[in-house]
Structure 1
């Protein structure tokens, strides 16, 4: 079997991909439906990375992003009642968006910067 070398930069980019694009999608809500679909492929690809350190960046970012979207589903199911409590549908949408930004973006930026500062070593992987 041929051996494939995975460079430190490739590993770093794989670790940074999910938190980076999740943060971008939350900041620009129009991109959320696109990122939901694309994130499934990114998550599956990175989850099977030969370096476990890459997966250590992926899992918490996935929990944050998918957790926020799961909370959106619950809140939006009760949006008619909750909108009255916060002063209207626009206020509810802005509040939901602000909370999502506070949960996903700062920790996503932290993960991207941590991955950039981490010590990555070249690894060999048995290609099939």
Structure 2
């Protein structure tokens, strides 16, 4: 099976684009991407191209750290008339922490050298009648 360089590059920056969308549009997209991110991570972390796994792990660590920190810090926001201001400040902090490194990673992925990879098809298990 042949994995093209373009396919490997796309797999590497897919998580970053999802993280950016989740932080810029938090209400409709954050819960959906949080679930989809687990699927993306498990599918691409052990990619035959090692650079895909490296970039995937970096972006996943950044996203889960930011999402978890927002949940924990949001618990300590005081209930007052300026609650919305606190939530906006927390969202702005998440945007800065997640957006800038994700854009930097996308730039690095785009300018990294990618090559096509030939992999062997996985062998299927067969049981002979004599072995059983």
TM-score, normalised relative to structure 1: 0.88
Matched, 1:48 2:46: yes
Across the aligned residues of Structure 1 and Structure 2, the Cα RMSD in angstroms comes to 1.3
For residue 23 of structure 2, the aligned residue among 15, 22, 26 is: 26
Consecutive unaligned residues of structure 2, counting only runs of 5 or more, are 123-132
Query: Is 2:74–2:87's contact at 8 Å kept on the other side of the alignment?
Result: no
Match of 1:11 in 2: 8
For these two proteins, the number of residue pairs brought into alignment is 121
- The answer as to 2:103 corresponding to 1:109 is yes
SS at match of 2:119: strand
Quick one: which of 32, 45, 60 aligns to 1:62? 60
Larger RCO (CA under 8 A, 6+ residues apart): 1
CA radius of gyration, larger in: 2
- SS of 1:126's equivalent? coil
Pair 1:120-2:124 in alignment? no
| Structure 1 spans left out of the alignment, 5+ residues | none
Runs of 4+ in structure 1 off by over 6 angstroms are: none
Which residue of structure 1 lines up, in the alignment, with residue 129 of structure 2? Answer: none
Task: Write 1 or 2 for the structure with the bigger share of helix.
Answer: 1
> Normalising by structure 2, what TM-score?
0.86
